[in-house]
């Protein structure tokens, strides 16, 4: 399978690229608005993988090109960029594609982080509304610390949550998440249930701020 990480030069994009490249045989395409930056980062990821004994080819492209070539497209950009990104790649994602959105809308004030969804109720729903007809949207990977995920020395032993209305698409992303070592995907319902999943992210950041030794904290449901 070909996985494109749009905004794949950023924290969560890098983290998912490294994990999938190490733990699977899927082809990894790093996308960026700037194709030169995408190629540079892809080279960096190859070097990083090589340093843990994994010889892998990671390619960089402009976001549109990466989306065009991929079976699964991860929108690894901040919430306030995601709608523009979907618009930019809309004519490049075929019917068979799955769009995966890990973004969360948050505010920060002196009290900590607060969940701040868009008016449609969640970023996942925003992406679903912006996606071309026939392109399935799955929310996933919201509640993972990018730093922890990007550090290949760390065993994850964590859960990640999936939301989506298209069962086949959810199953595809469930399989891809499950292939990352130490990550357990759990279904959290349809798009209508995305807000409760996304709001876990500011909670995790608040826990990291309020409790010693919880930097990069994740979650296990048990």
Binding site for a copy of itself (CB under 8 A): 109, 111-115, 157-158, 161, 186-190, 192-193, 195-197, 199-200, 202-204, 206-207, 209-211, 214, 217-222
**What are the tokens at 209?**
């701020």
Q: Which is nearer to a copy of itself, 82 or 197 (CB)?
A: 197
Minimum CB distance to a copy of itself, residue 139 (Å): 12
Q: Which is nearer to a copy of itself, 13 or 202 (CB)?
A: 202
Report the C-alpha gap between 76 and 101 in whole angstroms: 7
Q: Which is nearer to a copy of itself, 86 or 191 (CB)?
A: 191
**What are the tokens at 73?**
């497209």
Strands 106-109 and 112-115: antiparallel
Minimum CB distance to a copy of itself, residue 210 (Å): 4
Minimum CB distance to a copy of itself, residue 169 (Å): 15
Q: Which is nearer to a copy of itself, 60 or 139 (CB)?
A: 139
Report the C-alpha gap between 88 and 55 in whole angstroms: 32
Minimum CB distance to a copy of itself, residue 135 (Å): 21
Cα separation values, 151 from 42, 50, 113, 157, 168, Å: 16, 14, 24, 13, 30
Minimum CB distance to a copy of itself, residue 192 (Å): 4
Minimum CB distance to a copy of itself, residue 23 (Å): 20
Helical packing angle, 123-130 and 79-89, nearest 10°: 20
Q: Sheet with 136-139: list strands edge to edge.
A: 58-62, 27-32, 2-6, 72-75, 98-101, 136-139
Q: Which is nearer to a copy of itself, 37 or 116 (CB)?
A: 116
Q: Which is nearer to a copy of itself, 101 or 199 (CB)?
A: 199
Closest by CA to 103, choosing from 129, 158, 131, 140, is 140
């Amino acid at each position: 399978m070909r996985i494109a990480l749009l905004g794949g030069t950023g924290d969560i994009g890098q983290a998912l690229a490294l994990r999938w490249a190490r733990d699977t045989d899927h082809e990894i395409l790093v996308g960026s608005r700037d194709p030169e930056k995408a190629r540079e980062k892809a080279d960096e990821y190859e070097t990083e993988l090589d340093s843990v004994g994994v010889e892998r080819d990671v390619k960089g492209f402009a976001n549109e090109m990466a989306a065009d070539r991929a079976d699964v497209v991860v929108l690894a950009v901040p919430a306030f960029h995601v709608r523009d990104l979907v618009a930019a790649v809309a004519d490049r994602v075929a019917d068979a594609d799955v769009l995966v959105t890990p973004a969360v809308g948050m505010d920060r004030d002196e009290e900590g982080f607060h969940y701040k969804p868009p008016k449609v109720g969640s970023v996942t729903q925003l992406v679903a509304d912006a996606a071309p007809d026939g392109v399935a949207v799955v929310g996933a990977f919201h509640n993972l610390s990018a730093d922890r995920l990007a550090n290949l020395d760390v065993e994850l032993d964590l859960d990640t949550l999936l939301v989506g209305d298209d069962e086949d698409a959810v199953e595809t992303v469930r399989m891809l998440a499950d292939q990352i070592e130490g990550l357990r995907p759990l279904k959290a319902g349809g798009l209508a249930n995305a807000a409760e999943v996304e709001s876990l992210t500011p909670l995790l950041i608040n826990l990291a701020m309020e409790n010693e030794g919880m930097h990069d904290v994740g979650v296990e449901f048990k």
